[in-house]
Chain A
């Protein structure tokens, strides 16, 4: 069978009846059985551990009034996909604090608490200043080694493993917080220098379900609109998106839409802060989203709330989809989703009768073994309404990581080449191999995904790993399995700026660069390409990540193509490598980014006729009459006929549904004060103080039934593991569901419990739904400290301010 995730190629007209992608594959990837090697989490490191995590607070010059910074550097936040503009105050080689960047149009000076305190990661006492190698007798388990010797050891281990077991036995895992230059270089490093098929990235846990759905329906993987299209949307629908805590700046856009008369529909098992005043709140059961979308579409069809002219002119597959959703009556939809029938009716009417709208979704529907089906369900509501490609008619996922969009464009994904090209596509291989100066036949074929890489370690198919910008031990599901595989590796090297929990299992740790120590571009949630600017040099022996990768290439004797002197040189090659692809950056320059406050891709250097042009970029996708390199003028969507696809998403219950033994649904997510695996934010004192340690949320009715009071110690168990933590009893969660935020490590990691079932198309794991049970903790399970384990402080608390001057 054809790969359902593959992009379509130019060809003849599409036969709707036999088009392979319209009812994509739905069987989840099975998770590994219990008999594989596993390793339980150790306790947290002691306060004396030199690598922390220690909590930093402002001290010294950062607290002094009237210290005049040497310069204010316009840059962006180092955390989420909103990529808020921020001005960092720099004096000498220290980032002292920040000043709002009022002129940057996306956030106009706004920041969430993480962005406000991000400067505390700079000059942090846990910062890695040297290369390290593992030594059980050294403090913290690692001893310093000279950088040059570390590079030699890494190169000789790569060489040994690849020459003994084959090129694919050495894998690379990278991350979507890297700039696009680094992300591009990592792809080139794996595919050209190492010639391994096995490179993937942590967007596998983040954006890939949205990408899979977007590719199937639109032919391209990009949020379709600038955020200003939210402002005057009559209806904003957000499914599985904790906007207030995970994309806080988007809140203002949503409130502004309401101020202009718009209605808000929120679908979530938890009443998150954005849901509090929603016009309609649909408390869906975890993992049932596609049923809701199918039910709403059926209502729209029944009441003829659809745009026939748009469907006729710009889409294919609607009639078959209409038959496909016919069984999703209101009663069945209500029964499956757990949402009251009346609210489904009301949501259908609001959405169906609106003239403008914006559909958003996020990890809540995407972190599922049927994540792509859920996304397709959402897209169908957008296409059936005809509300896309026009002002205030929008659709987008909300990306999680800083370069969540950009890192899925230029080749650090397992099946990708720069410019959002397919690694399996012979034409793409020829083009990119030409740019790189290599034989296309020497490029590997698509390899394993981020989770599968660890399964291959268990099978000894992968023996070595290079890890950068990724903390899988915290962020991958069922992480006792991951820990055992990390220990199984013959050689494991991590590039990072702090000793992450994953780095602690490495043989060698190389000191990389923090966000403020390098420059480069990222693509924001809006697909606006913006520029990260350097504030200070990396301290000690730490190096910019791209230099470290090139040093490894040199030590391997494979430095051809890896002799860049600056990120700008890498970017210039990326522009060429992306040219002609869907994510075409050829017309973007650092100067244009600065002049325009970012450039939305695609941005072409040449017109379709091959004439040089000064293209401003593409804020809104799929506008009528727009040109793209696949349709070549046939229509606005990225298929040869220019038409969008109505796919037929199938509903399946969560892979591991509840039963008598495990009667509750466990779902996981984030809190406002922490970011992803917490490598950075668990080292920032003021953020930790806001929410020091995970608690499990449960409804008062469930708490009463189990005899659990707010703040009591409870044990949550799944078929993978158990953890003991305090209860937080809140009326804002479904009584059949419990929630744990996942940012913490070791015994406080929610991913000890989660399930590694994966979506067959996107390979995203099912973080958002697994069966669990909850009970009062036994006395022997309660941690000895008997309270929130305090995080050792890196600094004394700031003295109270004396009289202001």
Chain B
């Protein structure tokens, strides 16, 4: 059964508390057999508790599949991009290098690229993926657009990303503040922003700090 077209994955990194529930729960999905495909990134541990859960964005035109010389990565009609197929995957790492979101990881022991498959055994039955089921902060959430609109009145969804000249649309939606005018997220532009320009945080503990 395909994943119902009304059910979507919503990602709000602003809510993430770095608890690793998603990482631990991913390994508990019945078909993942103890392997976690979830990544949790600290942006800069020394400077901030900000963490970002990284799941596969399930692109409409997945770069990982486009660069795969063995045609091992399949996107099903319901928009889910799957882990590489074992008989085809040649462990060349093209997908690992090419994915703009940095999602696919090479499992060297198995000679297989493994990534989030949206807990296909669950979502194709109408259940929530493990990570979005357990996430204590609501940074990861699975359901319909109507539900999220009601739950998150201060946010809106975005599914368009720019990486320099490349524009990608995804099945997964990212929550952004409602009052922002942008209709897309410019990922490479944010990389150019200086991380030192943070006088408030640097002076956080000083007398007379802002």
Residues of chain A having any CB pair with chain B under 8 Å: 57-58, 62-66, 97-98, 100, 102, 109-113, 115-117, 244-245, 248-249, 251-252, 255-256, 258-261, 271-277, 281, 283, 334, 338, 340-343, 672-673, 686-687, 690, 699-700, 710, 729-732, 734-735, 798-805
Contact = CB atoms under 8 A, between A and B. Distances in A.
Given A259-B154, A802-B86, A113 B33 contact: no
Nearest to B85: A803
**Of listed B20, B86, B117, residue having the most chain A CB within 10 A:** B20
A251 B112 contact: no
A64 B21 CA distance: 21
Nearest to A86: B134
Interface in B1-50: 14-21, 23-25, 27-28, 30-35, 45-50
Contact of A800 (B21, B48, B110): B110
19 contacts: A58-B27, A64-B33, A110-B21, A111-B25, A116-B28, A245-B17, A248-B19, A248-B137, A255-B15, A260-B153, A261-B154, A283-B205, A340-B208, A340-B210, A342-B208, A686-B24, A710-B46, A801-B35, A801-B110
Contacts of B47: 730-732
A272 B18 CA distance: 10
Instruction: Rank and list the top 5 A-B pairs by shortest CB-CB distance, nearest first.
Output: A803-B86, A244-B17, A248-B136, A801-B33, A798-B34
A273 B49 contact: yes
Contacts of B173: none
Contacts of A798: 33-35
A115 B20 CA distance: 12
A110 B205 CA distance: 34
B204 A271 contact: yes
B134 A734 contact: no
Interface string B167-182: 0000000000000000
Contacts of B207: 334, 338, 340
**Of listed B34, B87, B201, B202, residue having the most chain A CB within 10 A:** B34
**Of listed A98, A244, A245, A277, residue having the most chain B CB within 10 A:** A244
Given A111-B25, A113-B23, A251-B138, 14 more contacts: A109-B128, A110-B21, A252-B136, A255-B138, A271-B48, A272-B49, A276-B50, A283-B205, A340-B207, A730-B45, A731-B46, A732-B48, A801-B32, A803-B112
Interface in B42-101: 45-51, 83, 85-87
Nearest to A110: B136
A66 B25 contact: no
Interface of B: 14-21, 23-25, 27-28, 30-35, 45-51, 83, 85-87, 107, 109-110, 112, 114, 117, 128, 130, 133-138, 151-155, 201-202, 204-210
Contacts of B30: 65-66
A730 B46 contact: yes
A117 B19 contact: no
Nearest to A690: B20
Contacts of B15: 251, 255
A271 B107 contact: no
Nearest to B110: A800
**Of listed A66, A249, A342, A710, residue having the most chain B CB within 10 A:** A249
B34 A65 contact: no
A98 B48 contact: no
Contacts of B130: 100
Contacts of B133: 100, 102, 109-110
Nearest to A66: B30
A63 B34 contact: yes
Nearest to A253: B138
Given A63-B33, A113-B21, A342-B210, A802 B110 contact: yes
B46 A700 contact: yes
- The main secondary structure of chain A at its interface with chain B is loop
Given A256-B151, A731-B47, A798-B34, A98 B21 contact: no
Nearest to A340: B209
Contacts of B24: 113, 116-117, 686-687
A245 B128 CA distance: 24
A438 to B, nearest CB: 46
Contacts of B112: 800, 802-803
Given A111-B134, A273-B49, A732-B49, A800 B107 contact: yes
Contacts, number: 168
B23 to A, nearest CB: 7
Contacts of A252: 136-138
- The main secondary structure of chain B at its interface with chain A is loop
A731 B31 contact: no
B205 A256 contact: no
A770 to B, nearest CB: 20
A411 B165 CA distance: 69
Contact of B117 (A98, A100, A732, A804): A804
Contacts of A729: 46
Nearest to A686: B24
Nearest to A82: B136
A281 B210 CA distance: 11
Contacts of A255: 15, 137-138
Contacts of A735: 205
B198 to A, nearest CB: 9
A687 B209 CA distance: 38
A312 B15 CA distance: 41
A734 B33 CA distance: 43
**Of listed B51, B133, B136, residue having the most chain A CB within 10 A:** B136
A251 B136 contact: yes
B26 to A, nearest CB: 10
Nearest to B15: A255
A258 B178 CA distance: 13
A281 B205 CA distance: 10
Contacts of B208: 340-342
Contacts of B154: 258-261
Contacts of A686: 24, 27
Nearest to A691: B20
Nearest to A251: B137
Nearest to A271: B49
**Of listed A62, A100, A334, residue having the most chain B CB within 10 A:** A100
Contacts of B16: 273
A116 B45 contact: no
Given A113-B24, A256-B151, A731-B201, A249 B136 contact: yes
Contacts of A730: 45-47
A804 B204 CA distance: 49
A252 B151 CA distance: 11
Contact of A116 (B25, B137, B210): B25
A801 B19 contact: no
A347 to B, nearest CB: 14
A244 B87 CA distance: 42
Nearest to B200: A281
A248 B21 contact: yes
Given A98-B28, A100-B133, A58 B34 contact: yes
Contacts of A109: 128, 133-134
B91 to A, nearest CB: 12
A696 B209 CA distance: 26
A112 B138 contact: no
A340 B206 CA distance: 7
Contacts of A338: 205, 207
Contacts of A97: 28
A251 B21 CA distance: 13
Contacts of B128: 100, 102, 109
A100 B204 CA distance: 39
A805 B31 contact: yes
Contact of A276 (B48, B83, B136, B151): B48
B61 to A, nearest CB: 24
**Of listed B24, B47, B114, residue having the most chain A CB within 10 A:** B24
A273 B17 contact: yes
Contacts of A699: 205
Given A111-B136, A731-B48, A248 B17 contact: yes
Given A64-B33, A261-B154, A801-B35, A673 B25 contact: no
